[in-house]
């Protein structure tokens, strides 16, 4: 039997399970910074779409927003993986998230023969947010601080009707991390929280974060400390210890909230690795970190191998 035939047979069970299921895939700014990587991801998305998997893409863009901010003479301020957004920084976020970055993703998807539409949470009442009041957070140095994040919103409701209409039309929604209050006031929202909220509203089978990290590490300085599979409850001590820092923290927190909303499986993996998305989804060994709820963990222990 050829390697190709063996691989196709090995993937058969996965393709049957995934057909017509919704996957929400979050693309991090570091992944989107390289055009070659972006086009590689678009090709993987095209293969998933050909298997009748219903895909919603959510993009960040912190890397690109920070670069533009510095070019304009504004030094970015990031606290606990989240951006402090002054009115000037909000204008930068609009330009990057609602403009150049969205178009780059749409162009890459078009090159792979895919129908896609760029949106933000402002479109079609998709995301309603409320401006975040000053909050107490623990920064990456372990200090408790009261931080006013400025023009930043927390999502309070999701109206996913436009996403369902696009998915029914075999069109991929590409959603940028902006939302609005009922009054129309535009706010910057965390892209990980957007992905988690949409996955919950759509009852997605999977929520997948493509990042610049191999997954969740118990020791961020040791690549060998990868957590490849975990139950949500097992990660609470790791979060409480301060071991999960920077941009990884909101991703892990988003995974935990998504599981509480009924998303079966969540994944964090290095989107820069060639074919990482396909390897995570269609091989037993996977590539990054998979975080599941208690029932899914029980199934895993029963079968004693990593299920899709």
Give dist(CA 159, CA 284) in Å, integer.
35
- Residue at 14 is within a domain: no
CA 213 to chain centroid, in Å, comes to 13
pLDDT in tens, 152-191: 999 999 999 999 999 999 999 999 999 999 999 999 999 9
Overall domain count for the chain: 1
- Residue at 51 is within a domain: yes
Q: Show the low-confidence residues of the chain (pLDDT under 70).
A: 1-13, 242, 295-308
* 89 within 8 A of 83, measured Cβ to Cβ: yes
- Residue at 271 is within a domain: yes
Location of structure tokens 């403009």: 99
> What distances in angstroms separate CA 33 from CA 62, 65, 212, 233, one per listed residue?
10, 11, 11, 34
Location of structure tokens 């997605």: 204
- Residue at 45 is within a domain: yes
β-pair type (127-131, 153-158): antiparallel
pLDDT in tens, 76-121: 998 877 889 999 999 999 999 999 999 999 999 999 999 999 999 9
Six token digits for residue 129: 């947010």
Location of structure tokens 């396909």: 278
Backbone angles phi, psi at 85, to 5 degrees: -120, 100
- Residue at 12 is within a domain: no
Q: Which residue, 290, 238, 245, 295, is CA-closest to 265?
A: 290
- Residue at 2 is within a domain: no
* 211 within 8 A of 270, measured Cβ to Cβ: yes
> What distances in angstroms separate CA 31 from CA 19, 92, 102, 231, one per listed residue?
26, 20, 14, 26
Give dist(CA 39, CA 7) in Å, integer.
23
Q: Say which DSSP state 100 is in.
A: I
Burial 160-190 (b: 16+ CB within 10 A, else e): bebbeebbeeebbbbbbbbbbeeeeebbbbb
The helix (H) or strand (E) run that includes residue 207 is strand 206-211
- Residue at 6 is within a domain: no
Give residue 80's domain range. Answer: 19-303
Location of structure tokens 């129309």: 184
Count CB atoms within 10 A of the CB of residue 9: 10
CATH of the domain at 215: 3.40.1160.10
- Residue at 173 is within a domain: yes
- How large is the angle between the packed helices 191-201 and 248-260, nearest 10 degrees? 10
pLDDT, residue 298, reads 63
pLDDT, residue 236, reads 78
pLDDT, residue 192, reads 94
SS3 191: helix
β-pair type (186-188, 178-180): antiparallel
């Amino acid at each position: 039997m050829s390697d190709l035939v063996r691989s196709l047979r090995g993937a058969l069970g996965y393709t049957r399970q995934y057909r017509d299921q919704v996957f929400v895939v979050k693309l991090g700014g570091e992944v989107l910074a390289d055009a070659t990587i972006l086009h590689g991801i678009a090709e993987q998305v095209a293969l998933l779409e050909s298997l009748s998997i219903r895909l919603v893409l959510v993009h960040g863009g912190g890397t690109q927003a920070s670069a533009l901010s510095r070019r304009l003479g504004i030094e970015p301020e990031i606290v606990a993986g989240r951006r402090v957004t002054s009115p000037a920084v909000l204008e930068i976020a609009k330009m990057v998230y609602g403009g150049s970055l969205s178009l780059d993703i749409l162009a890459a998807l078009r090159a792979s023969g895919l129908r896609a539409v760029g949106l933000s949470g402002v479109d079609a009442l998709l995301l309603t947010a409320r401006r975040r009041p000053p909050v107490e957070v623990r920064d990456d140095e372990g200090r408790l601080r009261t931080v006013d994040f400025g023009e930043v919103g927390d999502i309070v409701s999701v109206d996913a009707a436009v996403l369902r209409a696009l998915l029914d039309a075999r069109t991929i929604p590409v959603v940028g991390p902006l939302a609005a209050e009922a009054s129309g006031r535009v706010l910057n929202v965390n892209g990980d929280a957007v992905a988690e909220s949409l996955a919950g509203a759509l009852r997605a089978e999977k929520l997948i974060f493509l990042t610049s990290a191999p997954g969740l590490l118990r020791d961020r300085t040791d690549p060998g400390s990868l957590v490849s599979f975990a139950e949500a409850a097992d990660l609470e001590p790791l979060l409480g210890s301060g071991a999960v820092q920077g941009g990884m923290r909101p991703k892990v927190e988003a995974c935990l909230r998504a599981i509480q909303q009924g998303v079966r499986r969540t994944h964090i993996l290095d989107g820069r690795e060639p074919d990482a998305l396909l390897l995570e989804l269609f091989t037993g060994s996977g590539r990054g970190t998979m975080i599941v709820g208690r029932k899914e963990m029980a199934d895993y222990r029963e079968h004693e191998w990593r299920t899709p």
